[in-house]
A and B are shown apart, each in its own frame.
Chain A
C-alpha cells in the first residue's frame, strides 16, 4: 500500500469518528503535531503548579491549605498522564523534560504571570482552570485515543479545581471592602490572560487547518473562547465582581456575550519569553530537576542492589 492510500484510509477512519490507537500507522505530521501539543500541555500542567505553590505556606486556613495542596497534586498528576500519552507516540519522557528545562519547549503563557495576592489563587481556579475545562472537554473528543482518554480523566478532576477557586473568590467578594477589592483586583489581572490562553484567534491560528482535519482539535480557538466567556460572565455577576472590559455586552440576537478587542501583542510577548515570570519559572524547573537528581540516582542504585540480591538468592 502506498502512502497516499494509507493516508486516505487514515482520514476515512478519522472521518468515521473512530479513535486512533498507539502504534497504528499515522501520517508523520499527525504524530509530530500530537507530540507538540501533548508535551506542551504536559509542561503547562507542571509549570502551572508554580504560581499556586507560591501560596501553600500562606493559605489563610487549614481547609484552604489542604484544598490547595490537593489541587496542585492533581496538576502534577495531569502532567504525568500527559507525558504518558505523549510516550505512546514513540518519544522519550526524558527528552521532553529536557526540552522544557532547556527552554526549547513552550507551555501555556498564563503561567508566566505572578500570583501577587491570595485572591489570585481563587482567580486561577475559577478562570484558568475554567478556561482549561472548556478546552479540555473539546480535546477529549479528539481522534487520538491515549490523549482523549487522558483528557476525560483530567476533566473529571478539573471540576473541583474550578469550584474551589470560585468559592474562594466569591467568599472574598462578600467580605470586607478590602477583601472585595482584592478579589476584583485579581479578576482585573487574570481576565485577559485567561481569554488569551485559549490560543490565537482563528484568523491567525497557523496550525488549525490540519489539526481540525485530523480531529486533533474538534473546535476552533474562537469557538472554545466564546463558550468560556458565556459561562464565566454570569458567574462574575453572581459574585458581585466586574469583568474588566468596558466593551463587554450581551447580544440578544445571538445569545452570546461579546468582548472588546484582545491585546495580542501582550500574548506574543509572553510566549516569546518576555512575560513577568518566564525566567523564574524556567529556573524553578531546572532547580527541581537538579535537586531531584540524587533521589533518582539513589532509587536506581537501590533497585539494582535489590535485583542482585534476588538473583543471588535464587
Chain B
C-alpha cells in the first residue's frame, strides 16, 4: 500500500508587504492551486503571510555544499568592493 501524495512543492512566504519571500517548508499537492491552499493552511494559520509562492521542488537548482568553497571564492579577494577599503581624509563628509 503506497499513497500517492502528489508533487512536492517548496513554499515561500512573505510575512508583510515590502519584504522578501522566505522559505517556510514544503507541501504535497497535485497542482499549484491546491499547493497554495494547502500552504496557506499549513504555514499561515496566524496571518504569518501576505503572499505565498509555491515552486515545484524539482524545478529548483541549487549550489552544492562540496563545491561551495570554489564556487564562491571569486568574491574572496575583492575587498575593494566594500566602502571601508577606501581612505578618506578626515573631516570630509557624506562619503
Residues of chain A having any CB pair with chain B under 8 Å: 21, 23-25, 70, 73-74, 77, 80-81, 84-85, 87, 92-95, 97-98, 101-102, 150, 157, 289, 293, 296-297, 299-300, 302-304, 306-307
Q: Chain B: interface secondary structure?
A: loop
Q: Closest approach, in angstroms, between the C-beta of A169 and any C-beta of chain B? A: 24
B65 lies within 8 A of A24 (CB): yes
A289 lies within 8 A of B3 (CB): yes
Are A303 and B30 CB-contacts (below 8 A) given A80-B42, A81-B25? Answer: yes
A77 lies within 8 A of B5 (CB): no
B34 lies within 8 A of A299 (CB): yes
A181 to B46, CA, bound (A): 36
Chain B residue numbers with a CB within 8 Å of A102 are 1
Are A84 and B2 CB-contacts (below 8 A) given A23-B64, A25-B66, A73-B45? Answer: no
Given contacts A85-B25, A95-B2, A296-B30, 14 further A-B contacts (CB under 8 A): A23-B65, A25-B65, A73-B45, A77-B43, A80-B25, A80-B42, A87-B26, A98-B2, A296-B4, A299-B6, A299-B34, A300-B4, A303-B6, A303-B31
Chain A residue numbers with a CB within 8 Å of B2 are 94-95, 98
Q: Closest approach, in angstroms, between the C-beta of B31 and any C-beta of chain A? A: 4
A43 to B5, CA, bound (A): 16
Chain B residue numbers with a CB within 8 Å of A300 are 4, 6, 30
- B24-48 vs A, CB cutoff 8 Å, 1 = contact: the mask equals 0111111100100000011101100
Chain A residue numbers with a CB within 8 Å of B46 are 157
A303 lies within 8 A of B34 (CB): yes
Chain B residue numbers with a CB within 8 Å of A25 are 65-66
Are A84 and B27 CB-contacts (below 8 A) given A21-B65, A23-B65? Answer: yes
Q: Closest approach, in angstroms, between the C-beta of B94 and any C-beta of chain A? A: 40
Taking CB atoms and an 8 Å cut-off, the chain B residues in 42-68 that contact chain A are: 42-43, 45-46, 62, 64-66
A150 to B42, CA, bound (A): 12
Contact for A296 among B3, B41, B43, CB less than 8 A: B3
A46 to B42, CA, bound (A): 13
A307 lies within 8 A of B31 (CB): yes
A101 to B28, CA, bound (A): 19
A87 lies within 8 A of B34 (CB): no
- Some 24 contacts from A to B, beta carbons below 8 A apart, are A21-B65, A23-B64, A77-B41, A77-B43, A80-B42, A81-B25, A87-B8, A87-B26, A93-B5, A93-B28, A98-B1, A101-B1, A289-B3, A296-B3, A296-B4, A296-B5, A296-B6, A296-B30, A297-B4, A299-B6, A299-B30, A300-B4, A304-B30, A307-B31
